[in-house]
């Protein structure tokens, strides 16, 4: 019997690679995306497009009502998106309070309901400097809790936790993936800005892989 897994799928290039890695590993995938009031909601459109193409079961859950509890982040609040490298101090404004604990908890509940043993989650080493809820110690503790939070044990699995975005893209390109239906930019405009930390890290990953990013940029 094929193992069921839930993939937290934002629509970005990291979670896109995780989704396809799970499929390549022979898993029966249940993709789960969240609308938490993020200004870059375009990523959810990309997620829906990809899941339709791959015939993957996909739910988009509106949890935007909790936005009033997640104040202060430039991703959800009326705060300007910072420009500059991902590891710059200014990028801390993109931290959404407790976001990944909330999303993982909901994904684990979904996993229990569909009989899945794992929740796939796309944290990577490039996130560690800015995002506490993407660091190995957070993932390890969440994994410990999620194994005992229900009668059914669910593992929180981050296949790229200790590698860079460049390495994630390397794996994706080796799988023959097309990244044209992914969205990384933190600004919610028609084209990616190319200036925010998320865009810069994405462009660096493509440059490191001597590949061309297929999405359109403003500059």
CATH-assigned architecture of domain 4-208: 3-Layer(aba) Sandwich (3.40)
pLDDT at 187: 83
As a whole number of Å, the CA-based R_g of the chain is 16
Mean pLDDT by 10 residues, the chain (219 residues): 94 97 98 85 94 98 82 50 53 68 96 98 78 90 96 97 96 98 89 91 96 95
Query: Which residue from 34, 39, 30 is spatially nearest to 2, judged by alpha carbons?
Result: 30
pLDDT at 197: 85
Residue ranges of the domains in the chain?
Answer: 4-208
Contacts of 22 (CB under 8 A, 6+ apart): 5, 7, 29, 120
What are the counts of helices (DSSP H) followed by strands (DSSP E) for the chain? 6, 5
């Amino acid at each position: 019997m094929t193992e069921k897994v839930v993939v937290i799928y934002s629509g970005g290039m990291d979670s896109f690679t995780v989704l396809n890695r799970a499929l390549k590993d022979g898993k029966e995938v249940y993709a789960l995306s969240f609308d938490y009031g993020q200004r870059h909601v375009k990523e959810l459109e990309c997620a829906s497009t990809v899941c339709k193409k791959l015939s993957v079961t996909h739910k988009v859950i509106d949890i935007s009502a909790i936005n009033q509890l997640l104040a202060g982040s430039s991703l959800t609040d009326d705060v300007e998106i910072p420009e500059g490298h991902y590891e710059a101090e200014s990028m801390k404004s993109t931290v959404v309070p407790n976001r990944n604990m909330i999303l993982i908890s909901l994904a684990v509940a979904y996993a229990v309901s569909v009989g899945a043993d794992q929740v796939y989650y796309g944290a990577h080493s490039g996130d560690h400097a800015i995002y506490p809820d993407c660091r190995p110690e957070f993932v390890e503790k969440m994994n410990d809790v999620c194994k005992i939070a229900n009668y059914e044990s669910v593992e929180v699995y981050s296949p790229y936790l200790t590698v860079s975005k460049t390495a994630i893209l390397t794996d994706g390109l080796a799988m023959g993936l097309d990244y044209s239906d992914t969205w990384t930019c933190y600004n919610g405009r028609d084209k990616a800005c190319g200036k925010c930390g998320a865009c810069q890290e994405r462009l660096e990953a493509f440059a490191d892989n001597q590949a061309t990013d297929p999405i359109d940029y403003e500059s």
